[in-house]
Amino acid sequence: MVTNLLNYDAKSLADFCVEIGEKPFRSKQLLRWIHQFGISEFSGMSDLAKGLREKLATLAIIEPPQIISDHVAMDGTRKWLLSVGAGNGIETVFIPEANRGTLCVSSQVGCALACTFCSTGKQGFNRNLTVAEIIGQLWLANRALRDNPRVAANDSDRVVSNVVMMGMGEPLANFENVVTALDLMLDDHAYGLSRRRVTVSTSGLVPAMDRLRERCPVALAVSLHAPNDDLRDQLVPINKKYPIKELLAACLRYLSVAPRDFITFEYVMLDGINDSVVHARELVKLVQDIPCKFNLIPFNSFPGSGLKRSSPEAIAVFREQLMQAGYVVTIRKTRGDDIAAACGQLAGQVKDKTRRSTCVRAEILS
């Protein structure tokens, strides 16, 4: 069986080189060809001996997910639907801005955590993505966003400057594969992104937040969405297992090594649910000990959600309450609305393994 080298970080690639009778340092050359230059054919790896290129062609492949569709919105936001086999599809979104290009990457096919406002959560859960399927999203985006493969690895030609693990799935529920993909994003021989420019967003899997702190402390965003446990239990069911007090304690521990000196709290604005002045004041009190910023996310509707976006006035008043308390608050711009690429709208194609989904959910929540 051939090996997909997109599954390997630097260490596993070095091990692979030794296994096939090559020097481990070949892994650095391979990493550069695969990830920096976006090459998928070994024949194009010109600084490898011909014999090695031929050997690799019989033993290995470089295979990202297949592109099913590729849409560009009026505002330049670009969304790919990618096949990951067995009728399952995941989505990846590129958001261009004046001074950066952010890629929103998926980590699972669907999600078992079933947050009530989330389109992905409503689709059920099928499986975790492999490392190749996670890093393959960045590999494909870099290729698609450039006319030609990179010829040099420097900041000026970097199209994807930031990665956010905020696509389909809960990244920390697929811990090992996500961390291996993060290692590749940070590796100077691969993508060379700084820790500050790679963000993991979690709904609050507390033990995994601690593991991430030890293994690979990138920037952290936490989907908070409610100022108290009663409401958060309803919106983010994982809260029943890891309530707000434990979550905030984990945030404080994370800050001791985080590349940024604040946590970003995400807060989806739901009309009549979590968007009153009382909620805002409660929120201010709740996070008073945590260095943090807020990102308010106007809810993006999807069929069957039964929820409505807060009015612009309600969002403005909510924001003002937080700002008066001294917090930096951004309101997430709705991007890619016309191609359903906005936050919370990613749906992909999920063959829900309902029994397994129920089972995984029960396991996580127990």
* Contact footprint for ligand SF4 (CB under 6 A): 111, 113-115, 118, 120-121, 169-170, 203, 223
* CA-wise closest residue to 125 among 143, 142, 112, 107: 112
> Among all residues, which ones are annotated catalytic?
91, 343
Q: Output the smallest distance, CB 107 to ligand SF4, in A.
A: 9
**Cβ distance to ligand SF4 smaller for residue 7 or 203:** 203
Q: Output the smallest distance, CB 150 to ligand SF4, in A.
A: 31
Whether the Cβ atoms of residue 141 and residue 90 lie closer than 8 Å to each other: no
Q: Output the smallest distance, CB 112 to ligand SF4, in A.
A: 7
Q: Output the smallest distance, CB 174 to ligand SF4, in A.
A: 11
- Which residue's Cβ has the minimum distance to ligand SF4? 121
**Cβ distance to ligand SF4 smaller for residue 27 or 345:** 345
**Cβ distance to ligand SF4 smaller for residue 120 or 180:** 120
**Cβ distance to ligand SF4 smaller for residue 34 or 297:** 297
The three-state DSSP-derived secondary structure of the chain is CCEEHHHCCHHHHHHHHHHCCCCCCHHHHHHHHHHHCCCCCHHHCCCCCHHHHHHHHHHEECCCCEEEEEEECCCCCEEEEEECCCCCEEEEEEEEECCEEEEECCCEEECCCCCCCCHHHHCCEEEECCHHHHHHHHHHHHHHHCCCCCCCCCHHHCCCCEEEECCCCCHHHHHHHHHHHHHHHHCCCCCCCCHHHEEEEECCCHHHHHHHHHHCCCEEEEECCCCCHHHHHHHCHHHHCCCHHHHHHHHHHHHCCCCCCCEEEEEEEECCCCCCHHHHHHHHHHCCCCCEEEEEEECCCCCCCCCCECCHHHHHHHHHHHHHCCCEEEECCCCCHHHCCCCCCCCCECCCCHHHHHHHHHHHHC
**Cβ distance to ligand SF4 smaller for residue 118 or 181:** 118
**Cβ distance to ligand SF4 smaller for residue 32 or 232:** 232
Q: Output the smallest distance, CB 128 to ligand SF4, in A.
A: 13
Q: Output the smallest distance, CB 203 to ligand SF4, in A.
A: 4
Q: What is the DSSP letter of 32?
A: I
CA 113 to chain centroid, in Å, comes to 15
